[in-house]
Amino acid sequence: MNFKNHFNLLCFLAFVVFFSNYSLTSSYPEGNKWIISSPEEEGIKTEHINKLLDLSFSDNATQAVVIIKNGKIVSERYADGYDINSHGTSWSMAKSYYAALIGISIDREEIKSLDDKVSMYLDYFDDERSSITLRDLLNMSSGLDFPSHEHERMFFQQDHLNYAKNVGVEKNAGIKFEYNNVNSMLLGDILHKATGKKADLLFEERILNVLEINDYKLWKDENGNVMTYCCVDMSARDYSKIGLLFSRNGEWNGNQILSKEFIDETFQTVWETSNMNGHKRYYSLHWWVSKYEEDSKIFNTSGKFGQFTFVDRENDIVVTRISKYSQQDFGSTQKWGIMKYLKWAGVDNAVKVGRALLEIGSIETGSDVITPFTDQEGESREFYIQYQEIIDSISELSQN
């Protein structure tokens, strides 16, 4: 055998060995069945796992932490009274999920481009808002009116979409990052106009069913509008599946659910912000970027009271942390009852009064009020204070 043929044979054998090893080490969960592996088997030091878990559970608000490497669970821990089936509520993690549906609609040519004007889909944007693009909404730089409460008061309305429709312009689009819930609420209406289907049905058909996520709630307001800026309930393991979809460049068990191009565009650093206890973060297309260095890039979804799914795409690592939540069995459509009279009291006041009324029994969850609800027990504190250390611990998982 001459040198050229010998060299080609070696290259071929190396190719076969590499991809056979890859197929053996990387996997996808099937339904509720995950492969359980040890940290060492997946190239992670147990001491790094334990450090991350201990940091996370130093906050008593932590309900669950699940750590995924190569599509396998290498460790998970649950607070007393919770298990692998316990729901957490997403709060704003849901923004990232509904943004993914915009990407899928672009892949399917239902939406032409991120640079389409919103007015192409929403006729009521044919006014002072006519220059705003889909990209502006997803990058939180629409220039729409931005009050101090970040439109969290929308959460206490009976018709969230009507509220969002009536928010005017404060500044030119594309010049400033402002975390505005209205931007995300409008996504559902855009998707409805582009596809003829409501966002919850699209989420089920195009993501949840494919990932075999079967136990969940997708919250709607009292008028039946999908709350695309918040509020999906599911287990920490199932949140991790969505993280794994992004870690795997939109591919799921041989099917391309969301294009790699859209995820590449998502996983960038568009806007710089430092609103996590002074920790520098970035934002792009409804995802946060908590670390962006040459040797470590960590992207994440983020919810109001400390709900996160962190994705280290280059190392195929996914970490989900959710805070304590009392799973509700009263449906997934909001009902405010007498609480509707608090909608203009201010978000903090409304939350405090609502908690007090529940505690003394003046209102009852499931009859008087139905809504996603995080009690004080699930409101994170230490996790935010230690955020930088937690991000560094996730980065350490890929270091030998």
Top pLDDT among 9 and 303 is at 303
Buried/exposed code over 199-220 (b: 16+ C-beta within 10 A; e: otherwise): bbebbbebbbeebbbeebbbbb
pLDDT of residue 19: 40
pLDDT of residue 25: 72
For the chain, how many structural domains are there in total? 1
What is the CB neighbour count within 10 angstroms for residue 269? 13
At 21, is the pLDDT very low, low, confident or very high (cuts 50, 70, 90)?
Answer: very low
103 exposure class (CB count in 10 Å sphere: 0-12, 13-18, 19+):
buried
For the chain, give the mean pLDDT: 92
Contact 67, 319 (CB under 8 A): yes
At 360, is the pLDDT very low, low, confident or very high (cuts 50, 70, 90)?
Answer: confident
**C-alpha count within 13 angstroms, C-beta hemisphere, residue 256:** 10
Amino acid type, 241? K
255: left (phi over 0), alpha (psi -120 to 50) or beta: beta
Model pTM score: 0.91
Contact 219, 372 (CB under 8 A): yes
- Structural domain including 311 reads 40-335+370-396
Residues 6+ apart with CB under 8 A from 70: 25, 26, 27, 37, 42, 316
Contact 300, 320 (CB under 8 A): no
Within a domain: 348: no
Model confidence pLDDT, tens digit, residues 55-113: 999 999 999 999 999 999 999 999 999 999 999 999 999 999 999 999 999 999 999 99
**Res 292 pLDDT > 90:** yes
Alpha helix (H) residue ranges in 166-316? 181-195, 199-203, 236-247, 260-266
CATH number at residue 321: 3.40.710.10
Contact 309, 243 (CB under 8 A): yes
**Res 279 pLDDT > 50:** yes
Within a domain: 215: yes
Within a domain: 178: yes
Find the farthest-apart pair of alpha carbons in the chain and give their distance in angstroms, rounded: 88
At 329, is the pLDDT very low, low, confident or very high (cuts 50, 70, 90)?
Answer: confident
Residue from 128, 158, 162 nearest 145 by CA: 128
Within a domain: 340: no
H/E run at residue 93: helix 93-107
**Res 245 pLDDT > 70:** yes
Within a domain: 89: yes
**Res 9 pLDDT > 70:** no
Within a domain: 69: yes
What is the CB neighbour count within 10 angstroms for residue 114? 18
Residue 103 has which token pair? 């990407």
